[in-house]
Amino acid sequence: MEQSRITSEKKNAIIFITGATSGIGKAVATRFAQDGYRLIITGRRKELLEETARDLALNFNVEVLPICFDVRKLKEVEEAITTLPEKWRNIEILVNNAGLAVGLNPIHEGLIDDWERMIDTNIKGLLYVTRQIVPMMVKRKRGHIINIGSIAGKEVYPNGNVYCGSKFAVDAITKGMRIDLLPYGIKVTQVAPGAVETEFSLVRFKGDHQRASDVYKGFTPLTGDDVANVVYFAATLPGHVNIHDLVITPAAQASASHFLKK
């Protein structure tokens, strides 16, 4: 009964989701749309973003505002968020989902461009978006930030070096946010998935479909929907309850690098 009441009260809430054109971000948008939430979805791929917005609005009869920008570019982030229409400014939940892994090289063979893409997206992009949205939450003294981290932010695996470092940073930044925003009644949660079958490995291996598909052979990975259900659960708990940190993996995964494969 209490869960239903809380969920009902939040139906008109606005959810801001980065990286919402595919994978976990799209699944999160879909899960909230199913229950009638208003959505601001963002991404770099304009056509795909607009298509996703149309589909969500049509299938679930919800309001969806698509905003195309690159989280790595501060000026784009600032312009996109500072020019939000007034009716879209009371953001209740921010889901910092945009992130990626590029390459799987030992540190001495790493490509600088790969490192910069990961650092700029996973760390700086999260910070840029948060910096623009959180002051609005502070002013209202309410809100919830959900950062999508990774099991790679809990333990390092071979050749994961910089990607793991970027996700360790998300873990630390999330803890810092929680302390800084406590006086303002703002919740902060990290959801840290293990192996999820999305575009993640395809991006990591730069379009090599064979290498990407090999990652998930021999076991059943998580889906974007699995992670979205956890995000939704954390976001719709009663006001006095907050999940600080949650690691979710497939049953066949015991750590960042230990799998039971058939």
* Residues labelled catalytic: 163
Give CA separation, 172 vs 22, 96, 157, 202, in Å.
Answer: 26, 14, 18, 27
CA distance 45 to 19: 9
Give CA separation, 88 vs 26, 80, 97, 147, in Å.
Answer: 19, 12, 19, 21
- Judged by DSSP in three states, 73 sits in coil
Count of residues in the chain: 262
Do 122 and 19 meet the contact criterion of CB atoms below 8 Å apart?
no
Phi, psi (5° rounding) for residue 91? -75, 120
Crossing angle for the helix pair 46-60 and 23-34, nearest 10 degrees? 20
Burial (CB count within 10 angstroms: exposed 0-12, middle 13-18, buried 19+), residue 83: exposed
**CA-based diameter of the chain, in Å?**
56
The position carrying tokens 């505002």 is: 65
- The letter for the amino acid at 105 is N
